[in-house]
Structures are given as structure tokens and as C-alpha cells.
């Protein structure tokens, strides 16, 4: 709870859209876990589902949010869609 309050105060003080999107994106533990998993290498949705024990629909939803925030990207490999974590181009 304290982290949530701190994040809201930080967002209000900085008023920077990039920081707001990043903090709100990582507010969910599953999204943070997905990014940590993708840092180890590219993964398919099936591999993410098996590693994190969450439903496929939840993984797709989290990957969509991460992709829209520019944190992960995907590429096609035959019938599969492989997700990769983006390298950090800036630090906060």
C-alpha cells in the first residue's frame, strides 16, 4: 500500500507521461514477472503460461499492455508469436 501511495505522489510531482505509463504498467505483479522472465530470453505465450502458472488469456492481456507501453515486442516464428523484452534506452 505504501508503494502505491508513493507512486501516486511521485506521478503527481513529476507529471511526466513516460514515468506514469511505466509505473502503472509495472503496478501489476504478473506484468513484472513476465518482464523478468523475458529478460532471460525470448518466450512464447505457452512458455510464459507454464512458467508463471496463469491463464493464457491473462498472459495475452498483460503482453498487450506491456507491448502498448513499449516494454516488450513480438515477432512471428512460423505459427508462434515470440515475445521479447526491450532493452532499456533511458533510465529514470
Cα–Cα distances in Å, from 42 out to 4, 67, 83, 87? Answer: 30, 14, 6, 12
Residue 13: pLDDT above 60?
no
DSSP-assigned beta bridge partners for residue 75: 82
Q: Model confidence over 27-72: pLDDT tens digits?
A: 888 998 998 999 899 999 999 999 999 999 999 999 998 888 888 8
CB 63 within 8 A of CB 45: yes
Amino acid at each position: 500500500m505504501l508503494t502505491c501511495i508513493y507512486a501516486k505522489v511521485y506521478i503527481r510531482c513529476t507529471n511526466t507521461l513516460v514515468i506514469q505509463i511505466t509505473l502503472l504498467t509495472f503496478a501489476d505483479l504478473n506484468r513484472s514477472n513476465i518482464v523478468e522472465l523475458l529478460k532471460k530470453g525470448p518466450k512464447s505465450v505457452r512458455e510464459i503460461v507454464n512458467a508463471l502458472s496463469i491463464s493464457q488469456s491473462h498472459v495475452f492481456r498483460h503482453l498487450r499492455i506491456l507491448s502498448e507501453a513499449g516494454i516488450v515486442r513480438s515477432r512471428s516464428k512460423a505459427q508462434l508469436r515470440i515475445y521479447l523484452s526491450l532493452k532499456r534506452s533511458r533510465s529514470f
